[in-house]
């Protein structure tokens, strides 16, 4: 009899253990925004002039989490420039200025602006909604927005932006799409190589793919682009747009989808890279560029990237020799 009860209790125990295993919830997924993302922002400011001849007005930038990778004064011809500090960067000492900063931080982090004893906080996530304008009495004004080309990373894998006529040029294109929570989007991309002075594309590729968002180092798609046989300057224009997939489980993603109707929220991007085709003989450069409208194209600053692998990561008018590392000049 006792053996019978023992068998019954043992069977009941196995049943309960099995039920518990089936009903146990899966491991909790990582909290949204927990991983760092990369964003390039443009910061402009207007602060009251300092009443003290010793203390400059200026503006400091810090992040509550993550780090500020680099900062550049913009436009490049402006005097002075950002200076790194222990907790962030001194963006400038003037009462007005404009700087572009590359930041790696979780979307749950905040940007902290300090000027004249005042501290202004801006959630990193808010920048995805569009340009932000912060106003604090008496006259502190700060504007913050993500630069328009930041969603596309282009790398000419030869590294110096030049190619021999007819050579095969590996081009890596990755997509830095940011959403309020990590998800996937349906992405369309087109890449065209166009003569600088205009004309039909000499090379074109298209891509339709599903891309993960909120990735710190997205994987690039590599295309082998044949360089034109005619020497000169060409523009590689990359255009992309993305749509959220049909996943409405997250309330924040639902709000983001609704905000897409607001033209301020970006769901597309364009980036342009300059490729110079040069043979063994010196290229015929146009010394007189008058009457030709400037185009914003990417150049490479090898001096700034000394010790690192060069990459096409900034834009400057074609007429300008050299360039800046990753900032984007405005067309004149």
DSSP string of 269-283, one letter each residue? EEEEEEEEE--SSPP
Instruction: List, for residues 154-208, the tens digit of each pLDDT value.
Output: 988 766 788 999 999 999 999 999 998 899 999 999 999 999 988 999 999 999 9
User: Does 47 share its domain with 101?
Assistant: yes
Mean pLDDT throughout 267-277? 93
- CATH code for position 82: 2.60.40
Q: What does pTM read for this prediction?
A: 0.71
Answer whether residue 6 is part of any domain: no
Domain interval for residue 61? 36-146
- 212's tokens: 């993960």
User: Which CATH number characterizes residue 176's domain?
Assistant: 2.60.40.10
Domain end call among 120, 146, 172: 146
Whether residue 166 is found in the same domain as residue 309: yes
In the chain, how many domains are there?
A: 2
Spatial strand order of the sheet with 89-92 comes to 83-84, 89-92, 59-63, 110-115, 118-123
Q: Is the pLDDT of residue 253 over 90?
A: no
CB proximity list for 127: less than 8 A, separation 6 or greater: 39, 41, 144, 145, 146
pLDDT of residue 98: 94
Q: Which of 122-131, 184-193, 236-245, 320-329 has the lowest mean pLDDT?
A: 320-329
Q: What percent of the chain stands above pLDDT 90?
A: 49
Percent helix, strand and coil across the chain, each to the nearest 5: 10, 40, 50
pLDDT at 52: 54
C-alpha separations of 208 from 72, 81, 252, 291 in Å: 34, 40, 25, 38
Domain boundary among 97, 123, 146: 146
User: How far is Cα 124 from Cα 105, in angstroms, rounded to an integer?
Assistant: 8
Residue 322 included in any domain = no
In a domain, 207, yes or no: yes
Residues 139 and 158 occupy one common structural domain: no
Please provide the average confidence, as pLDDT, over all residues in the chain. Answer: 75
Q: What element of type H or E holds 258?
A: helix 251-259
Query: Across 87-96, 148-157, 189-198, which has the greatest mean pLDDT?
Result: 189-198
Q: Work out the average pLDDT over 88-106.
A: 93
Q: Of 146, 173, 190, which residue is a domain's last? A: 146
pLDDT at 307 over 90: no
Ramachandran quadrant class, 80 (left: phi over 0; alpha: psi -120 to 50; beta: rest): left
Residues 177 and 298 in one domain: yes
């Amino acid at each position: 009899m006792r053996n019978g009860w023992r068998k019954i209790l043992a069977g009941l125990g196995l049943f309960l253990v099995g039920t518990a295993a089936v009903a146990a919830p899966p491991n909790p997924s990582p909290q949204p925004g927990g991983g760092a993302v990369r964003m390039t922002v443009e910061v402009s400011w207007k602060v009251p002039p300092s009443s003290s001849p010793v203390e400059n007005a200026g503006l400091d930038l810090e992040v509550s989490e993550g780090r500020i990778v680099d900062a550049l004064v913009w436009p490049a011809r402006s005097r002075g420039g950002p200076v790194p500090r222990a907790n962030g960067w001194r963006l400038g000492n003037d009462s007005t200025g404009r700087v572009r900063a590359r930041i790696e931080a979780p979307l749950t982090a905040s940007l902290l602006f300090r000027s004249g004893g005042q501290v202004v906080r801006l959630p990193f996530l808010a920048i995805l909604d569009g340009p932000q304008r912060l106003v604090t009495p008496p006259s502190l004004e700060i504007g913050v927005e993500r630069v328009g080309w930041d969603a596309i990373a282009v790398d000419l894998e030869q590294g110096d932006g030049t190619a021999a006529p007819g050579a095969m040029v590996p081009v890596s294109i990755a997509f830095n799409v940011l959403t309020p929570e990590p998800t996937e989007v349906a992405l369309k991309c087109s890449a065209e190589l166009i003569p600088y002075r205009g004309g039909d594309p000499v090379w074109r590729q298209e891509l339709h793919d599903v891309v993960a968002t909120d990735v710190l180092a997205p994987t690039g798609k590599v295309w082998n682009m044949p360089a034109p046989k005619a020497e000169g300057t060409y523009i590689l224009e990359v255009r992309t747009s993305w749509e959220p997939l049909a996943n409405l489980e997250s309330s924040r993603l639902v709000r983001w989808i609704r905000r897409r109707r607001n033209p301020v929220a970006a769901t597309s991007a364009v980036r342009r890279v300059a490729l110079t085709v040069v043979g063994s003989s010196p290229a015929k450069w146009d010394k007189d560029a008058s009457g030709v409208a400037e185009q914003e194209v990417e150049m490479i600053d090898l001096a700034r990237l000394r010790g690192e692998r060069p990459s096409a990561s900034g834009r400057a008018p074609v007429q300008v020799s050299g360039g800046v590392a990753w900032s984007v000049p405005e067309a004149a």
